[in-house]
Amino acid sequence: MSLAISPALRAALAEWLTHRKALAGASDNTIKAYSADVSAYLAFMAEHHGGSEGTAAVLAVGPGDMRAWMAQMRGRGLGPRSLARALSAVKGFTGWLADRDGQEATAALSARSPKYRRKLPRPLAEDAARDVLDTIGDDAREPWVAARDTAVVTLLYGCGLRISEALGLTGAVAKMPQVLRITGKGGKERLVPVLPMAAEAVADYTRQCPFDLGKTDPLFRGMRGGPLNPRLVSGAMVRARTRLGLPASATPHALRHSFATHLLSAGGDLRAIQELLGHSSLSTTQAYTAVDTARLMDVYAKAHPRA
């Protein structure tokens, strides 16, 4: 596919991706997705117009060209959400290219993104979250493994960490500070208060862990001493939710959702929750208000059933 893209466009795409990574702090996964989406778009336009093209041709793309590309993407089975993501990447690249070359690209930049319904986070109920923390280690092979799994999920629920963030901690925080400095998506840093229950769970694990927890070494370890694989945490969650009769949506990430939703239910400020979660946009955090409202309406419906 990349053979259809001119050397000038390949160089421009590489420059844009470098720019996104350096200045916007985009993660490696985001850069990979951008590259795939824009490369597919450029290859389509080259084929659509009958041959390899330079940057000027891309900036001259018309509304009909954009409709043809989006129709082709839909024909490949791409859903509205994925198409919206691809269009966002295309707009980002095209806008940057237009600015760089002092040109305009009205058609691409004015293309309307397909509408899609955002999936609401699916948190656990408060008692279910507590049950997970209490029983996650029940079938562990070793007592220290049980303590490890408990410590990890307690950090997810008690501090709102992503699984990658929890497993990225090092022995430098084996003695949990009152506030953790977390590096999240795109290298963005945030400060997260550590609740006593999280500090106690980690302390219990570090007392039992049979491996030396050096300051630069991973805090959470596998059975052979290597970094803990996130799949093992997911497996422990599967076993716990099966025992507890919880739905398949009860995943490690659902504990982070639960952290946010339960804070909001308790009167937490939306801006503060945004900071704790490390969301770059408040609109992402606002999804939890919809969850909270949905739960409230469910309670109301059960308390006041229709005749």
Give the catalytic positions in this structure. Answer: 162, 185, 253, 256, 279, 288
What is the rounded distance in angstroms from the CA atom of residue 100 to the CA atom of residue 56?
12
Question: DSSP state, 218?
Answer: B
Q: Are 278 and 190 in contact (CB under 8 A)?
A: yes
CA 282 from centre of chain? 15
Residue 215 one-letter amino acid: K
What is the rounded distance in angstroms from the CA atom of residue 163 to the CA atom of residue 82?
24
Number of neighbouring beta carbons within 10 Å of residue 128: 18
261 token code pair:
């939703």
Number of neighbouring beta carbons within 10 Å of residue 169: 20
The residue count of the chain comes to 307
Q: Are 159 and 277 in contact (CB under 8 A)?
A: no
232 token code pair:
């093992």
